[in-house]
A and B are shown apart, each in its own frame.
Chain A
Amino acid sequence: MPRYLVTFVYRLLDFRFAELDAILDMLCLDPAAVYAPSPPEIRLNNYSHLFVDLPSEAVAVEIQQRAVLVESVLELWGEGRTYEELDASLLSLSDDVLAPYMRPKMTWSLMVAGSGKTLSMAAQDTARYRVLASIPFPGPIQLKQPQETFWLIDHVANDTDPTPDHLYFGRAITSRASRGRERVGKGDLKRRAYLGPTSLDNELALLMASFAQIRPGSMVLDPFVGTGSILVACTQFGAFCVGTDIDIRVLRGKEEGRNVYANFTQYGLRYPELVRSDNALYAGHFRQVALYDAIVCDPPYGIRAGARRSGSRREQVRPVPAHLRADHIPQTRPYPMRDVLDDLLQVASTALRAGGRLVYLLPCEVGPEAGPEEGVVPTHEALDLVCVHEQKLNSKLVRKMVVMQKGEGTGDRGREGEEGGREGEGPRVKRQHIVRE
């Protein structure tokens, strides 16, 4: 298997390896086999790059196109502690590897990068000519959009690095594929047509789409769609999206060109299906079918927007007079966070196909008891917890991304819980504490 070098961006450190895991899992690859060439400490120390064995270049391209937190994927050609060792490993490259790049018409460029140190222009040039002595590419040099880009990375280890100082030489996959990372800037909220007070950051939305393993043709539901940030990210990966929300104002938008659909027009994406409905009554609004491949959402927690559910706050509901029914604005009442999550998990257990994923965000207070997932993240008998990752918001608050997967063949169990109803007996959803009720 060809060896590749994956480098990460220095962002959202807790999510970097997990995103790669999710993508490998989606491609039906065993992460253990893929990570085999890297020392195991790499994960523990959140190391900025790692070596992987990938079965084919197509997989490398997929990772490059998909992963939001991957800077680049290089096909590793040679390495060594010194330039002499690097030369030796480059000279021992087989002709099969080299032949496609020795065409006299291939345009190319060679970039030199320091990792853990800065290289002056002069030092970069010296390094460049050093390497080119071993691999003389005959084609013309072209810095703007060359057909192939090669990288020389001069890496200096810091105290926690498990790998020693090293030189790496490789061919970038980027020249054949757009980078998934580019989506982050392209979809930046600053230029989004329609925003609300709780529109989700684009990078996180894309990351959620990766964790939800969305691929072309996936059916995705966001039951708290709001301004549609999450569905914009999911549609980019080819999903067919359905969004529901109880708030008609946010769905309807302000004016022509400032509504949820405008965000999809802006990026030339397929429109989602929008329905105004109440997630607390999902089973009433929608037929019970395991329709969705993924449910991805950022539920309202009352920090910036409070949740509502249909119904009256009064004990005795006043009937709506017949002549006013047509224009009547239905009343809503507060929706406690405990119930929001109960209902979300219940919906996921029935509406997801077996193996489908639920990805949602959960803000938690930083505290001595926060840390282990038990007790903080609600559980459901039909859903297996895949992983939980944290993004620090401020000194007191973290945002957890919870990834759950519907177990294979647990469709019936989910339905049993459904019959139990909201106030049903038995520990349908177990949880000890959730912040900000």
Chain B
Amino acid sequence: MKNPISQGKVVLMLLVGCLEIFSLIPPCSRPPRIPLNSTKKYHQHAPTTVVMRLITHNMLKSNVKGVINGFPLRIEAEKVEVKETEFNSEFVQNLLPKVDWPALRGASKELGMDELPEEMDEANKTDDSFLQLVHKLLLDVHVLEGSLVCPETGRRFPINNGIPNMLLHEDEVA
């Protein structure tokens, strides 16, 4: 005759017993092992503040369907920060001919920054203090949160965590 308690049940009871015994053993004093894929130890410095620089604003335009120019975008900044970075006059000099001057001037006005002259003349291009001002505006002024607004349609392109989201809705693609 077979025992009414099946073998399976016996095994199960034994297992439960084992688990209970193990739970009574105090936890090991060794610090927990950091899993291999953890990146915590590489990132112990201050949290990254991530930003959009005005040089990017100077290049971006709106391309919603039907827009003719879409440039320059208006900046609606919620959080702006000026963080000084290393100045390299040669780099700024190379950048100058590629910058859209009225757009930079407008952006600097919108953010309440330094006044820029209406026109950039030849003497400016080699003047170090002028180049430093341009450097500050293009590379040191950081927009953390806000929006870029299309001048023609008013479409808002949000800036989240310093990354402007320029992607169009499917019905805006030309």
Contacts and interface: CB of A to CB of B under 8 A. Distances in A.
A281 B168 CA distance: 10
B47 A256 contact: yes
B131 to A, nearest CB: 13
Interface string B34-51: 000001101101011011
Contact of A262 (B43, B170, B174): B43
Given A286-B61, A317-B170, A276 B98 contact: no
A335 interface: no
Interface of B: 39-40, 42-43, 45, 47-48, 50-53, 55-56, 58-61, 63, 70-71, 85, 88, 90-91, 94-95, 98, 100, 160-171, 173-174
Interface string A311-343: 110000111100001001011000000000000
Given A265-B48, A284-B174, A287-B58, 20 more contacts: A193-B39, A193-B42, A217-B94, A246-B167, A248-B167, A256-B47, A262-B39, A262-B48, A271-B48, A276-B164, A278-B168, A310-B173, A311-B173, A312-B171, A317-B173, A318-B170, A319-B171, A328-B169, A330-B167, A330-B170
A291 B160 CA distance: 25
B169 A291 contact: no
B39 A275 contact: no
Contact of A317 (B39, B91, B160, B171): B171
A274 B163 CA distance: 6
A266 interface: yes
A242 B52 CA distance: 11
Contacts, number: 122
Is the interface on chain A under 10, 10 to 19, 20 to 34, or 35 or more residues? 35 or more
A311 B55 CA distance: 28
Contact of A285 (B48, B90, B94, B166): B166
B47 A270 contact: no
A265 B42 CA distance: 9
B42 A276 contact: no
B23 to A, nearest CB: 32
A236 to B, nearest CB: 15
Given A193-B39, A320-B170, A261 B60 contact: no
A319 B55 CA distance: 33
A258 interface: yes
A261 B55 CA distance: 18
B44 to A, nearest CB: 9
Nearest to B97: A289
Contacts of B63: 281, 284-285
A277 interface: yes
A106 to B, nearest CB: 35
Interface of A is mostly: loop
A194 B39 CA distance: 8
A273 interface: yes
A193 B100 contact: no
Interface string A254-270: 00111101100110001
A98 B122 CA distance: 51
A285 to B, nearest CB: 5
A252 B165 CA distance: 11
Interface of A: 191, 193-194, 216-217, 219, 240, 242, 246, 248, 251-252, 256-259, 261-262, 265-266, 270-271, 273-278, 281, 284-287, 289-291, 310-312, 317-320, 325, 328, 330-331
A219 B160 CA distance: 24
A276 B56 CA distance: 12
Given A265-B48, A284-B61, A320 B171 contact: yes
B34 to A, nearest CB: 12
7 contacts: A257-B48, A259-B161, A262-B48, A271-B50, A275-B164, A311-B173, A312-B170
Nearest to A194: B39
A348 B90 CA distance: 24
Nearest to A266: B42
A330 B168 contact: yes
Contacts of B170: 310-312, 317-318, 320, 330-331
B169 A330 contact: yes
B40 A325 contact: no
B166 A287 contact: no
Contacts of B98: 289-291
B39 A273 contact: no
Contacts of A266: 42-43
| 5 closest residue pairs by CB, A with B | A284-B63, A257-B43, A312-B170, A331-B170, A217-B91
